[in-house]
Amino acid sequence: MSEGSSGTPKLKIGVLLSGSGTNLQAIIDAAQDGLPVEIVHVISSRPDAFGIKRAKEAGISVCALDKTVYANPEEADARIVSQMQDAGAEYLVMAGYMRKLTPVVLNAFPDRVLNLHPALLPSFKGAHAIQDAWDAGVKVTGVTVHFANEDYDKGPIIAQRAVPVLEPDTIDDLEARIHATEHVLYPEVLRLLAEGRISVDDERKVRIA
C-alpha cells in the first residue's frame, strides 16, 4: 500500500456519481494536496455525467452505466461490486450518486459505503433536502456524512457541519454555501478513515478516536 506525505497509508476508494462530480473534484484536489487517499475507480450511473470527464482528466479509470443496466438493480450493483473489488477499493464513496444501493453492494462493503447528504440528518431526508430546508424557513441547515445502509438517509452519522441561512440569501446562495461545505467536510472524513480513527460501536453509533 502506498503512503501519503504524512506516512499514513493511502486509503483506496471507489467513487460513485451521477452528475457534475464537484465532490469528486474536491477529493482529487485534496489528494493532490496530501490527503492520503487514492481513487482507484469511478462509476457513473449516467453516461453524460460531467464527473466522467473529471475522472478521465485525473487519470482515474471510469465506467459509465446507463438506465438499461439498472433495469435489474441487483445485477447493476453486482457489476459495481465486481469492478470496485477488482480495482482494490476499500471503501465506496457516493458523491452525488442518485441510485439507491441494494444489499448486493452494502453487504459486500459493510460499513464501508459513505454518503453525503445536504442537510443535518435526520432532518430533511430525500433528494430535495436543500429545497425542503429552504421551504421550511429554517435558520440553520448543513451537511451530513454517514455510512449508507438499507434505510435511505438513516445510516450511522460520521460527521455533520452546520450551514447558516442568512437573511439576504437566495436558495442559490444557500446551495452554493452547502456545496462549498461538502467539499471541505468529505475530505476531512476521508482523512479520519485513512488514519483508522473511525469505528462503529455495538449500538451502531460512530466513534472517532
Dist. CA 12–CA 17, nearest whole Å: 17
Dist. CA 51–CA 69, nearest whole Å: 19
Q: Which residues are known catalytic residues? A: 117
**C-alpha dihedral, 157 to 62 to 84 to 71, nearest 10°:** 80
pTM, two decimal places: 0.94
Dist. CA 107–CA 110, nearest whole Å: 5
The per-residue pLDDT string of the chain (209 residues; one tens digit each, 9 = 90 and over) reads 466 555 778 999 999 999 999 999 999 999 999 999 999 999 999 999 999 999 999 999 999 999 999 999 999 999 999 999 999 999 999 999 999 999 999 999 999 999 999 999 999 999 999 999 999 999 999 999 999 998 877 899 999 999 999 999 999 999 999 999 999 999 999 999 999 999 999 999 999 99
With beta carbons less than 8 A apart as the criterion, state whether 27 and 56 touch.
no
SS3 122: coil
Give the pLDDT score at 152.
77
With beta carbons less than 8 A apart as the criterion, state whether 121 and 146 touch.
yes
Question: CA triplet 152, 156, 160: central angle to 5 degrees?
Answer: 95
Give the pLDDT score at 153.
75
Give the pLDDT score at 1.
46
